[in-house]
């Protein structure tokens, strides 16, 4: 989980142009300036980074870096990979 926390912290730093030193595992996203629209943006960035789909209902769980990493770990463990463009065309 530590690796995922670091990975999520990098995505947060890159997406919101924050100093990586400020992005600690237990820092509330709101304190980092990430509001509800920002959480949607973070969800989208994670989906692109990991080629997964995260249910929008999970946004309420995005409270801090560790919580986001926990959601990401669950989605990755479930094998919830996004469809490739070729798979979408086949449907």
Q: What are the pLDDT digits (tens) for 30-67?
A: 999 999 999 999 999 999 999 999 999 999 999 999 99
Q: Assess contact for 88 and 53: CB atoms under 8 A.
A: no
pTM of the predicted structure, to 2 decimals: 0.82
Cβ atoms of 15 and 41 closer than 8 Å: yes
Residue 90 has pLDDT above 80, yes or no: no
The tens digit of pLDDT for each residue in 6-30 reads 999 999 999 999 999 999 999 899 9
């Amino acid at each position: 989980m530590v690796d995922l926390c670091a990975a999520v912290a990098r995505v947060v730093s890159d997406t919101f142009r924050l100093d990586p030193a400020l992005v600690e595992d237990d820092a509330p996203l709101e304190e980092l300036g990430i509001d509800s629209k920002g959480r949607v943006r973070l969800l989208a960035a994670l989906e692109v980074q990991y080629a997964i789909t995260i249910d929008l209902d999970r946004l309420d769980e995005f409270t801090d870096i560790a919580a986001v990493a926990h959601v990401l770990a669950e989605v990755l463990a479930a094998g919830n990979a996004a469809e490739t463009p070729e798979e979408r065309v086949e449907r």
